[in-house]
Amino acid sequence: MNRRNLVLSALASGLAPAATIASQRQEKGEWSRFFKEADAEGSIVVLDARSPSHTEYVCNAVRAERRYSPASTFKIPHSLFALDAGLLRDEFQLVPWDGVKRSVEAWNADQNLRSAMRNSTVWVYERFAKELGDARETTYMRKLAYGNAVATGEKPFWVEGDLAISSFEQIAFLQKLYRNQLPFKVEHQRLVKDVMVSEAGFDWILRAKTGWTGKIGWWVGWVEWASGPVFFALNIDTPNRLGDLAKRQSITRHILRAIKALPEPS
């Protein structure tokens, strides 16, 4: 097996030593310039696990400790719930469209897990939530220690309701998913990681998910390298609504490139 195949095999496995190494936290005040240049208010946590001594960087730690609605980043654990409950067999099973025309054209068709994640198809996950019920959703979230683990308030509870999670908690959840250490079947964890793939290069893979409540925008995930993963969780205010959404990825990409965790664009 050549070097490239070895690297990709290691990345695809998503495995790491079971023991979690305590990370060293560093405040990165200089990263605030990326937010200022984008005219955005927000915070980011980056955990660089490419070396034995993990380093956790944070810009605006006070905000990073604060819990916000996860919005569509909740589709990551929600997909695990649907698979575990048998609502989905795999990434190919069709979820039939109900025929209701919605504002996002890509939503107006039958979906599967891959398209629902890629298009962030809200109605698919609303259907999962209805079939699971609030009590079961809450049980699943408590098993994961996912934020405040509540399914109360307006629906969908992960956008309009009371569910809330901090950036640090997002990082903790993502680490467990990367290592297949969540209380779900390993094959389900690997499947969810597969549908999270956003980009890939010769020796790296980016797995991530956006989220937006209308007021708060998220981008969370990690970049896999042969030397280890680099996790990130960014959230920003979005007073300009759709006009602010591109800033989620733009700011994060600048920061990841600053620590050589993401290649420069071609």
| Beta strand extents in the chain (DSSP E only) | 24-27, 42-48, 55-59, 197-200, 204-212, 216-225, 228-237
pTM assigned to the model: 0.91
**Residue 40 CB partners (closer than 8 Å, separation 6+):** 236, 237, 244, 247, 251
Q: Is the CB of residue 74 less than 8 Å from the CB of residue 211?
A: yes
Task: Show Cβ contacts of residue 176 under 8 Å, excluding neighbours closer than 6 positions.
Answer: 144, 182
Can you tell me the distance from the alpha carbon of 83 to that of 184, in angstroms, rounded to the nearest whole number?
Answer: 9
Is the pLDDT assigned to residue 22 strictly greater than 80? no
Q: Where are the domains of the chain?
A: 3-14+24-226+240-258
Look up residue 251 and give its DSSP letter. Answer: H
Residues of the chain above pLDDT 70, percent: 91
Count CB atoms within 10 A of the CB of residue 260: 12
224 vs 203: CA distance, rounded Å: 8
Give the least confident one: 2-6, 60-64, 209-213, 215-219.
2-6
pLDDT above 90 (res 24): no
Distance CA 80, CA 64 (A): 25
Across the range 192-204, mean pLDDT stands at 97
Q: What is the pLDDT of residues 205-242, one digit of tens each?
A: 999 999 999 999 999 999 999 999 999 999 999 999 99
Catalytic residues: 72
Distance CA 207, CA 14 (A): 11
The domain 3-14+24-226+240-258 having CATH identifier 3.40.50.2300: the answer here is no
Question: Per-residue pLDDT for 13 more than 80?
Answer: no
**CA–CA gap between residue 10 and residue 129 (Å, rounded):** 34
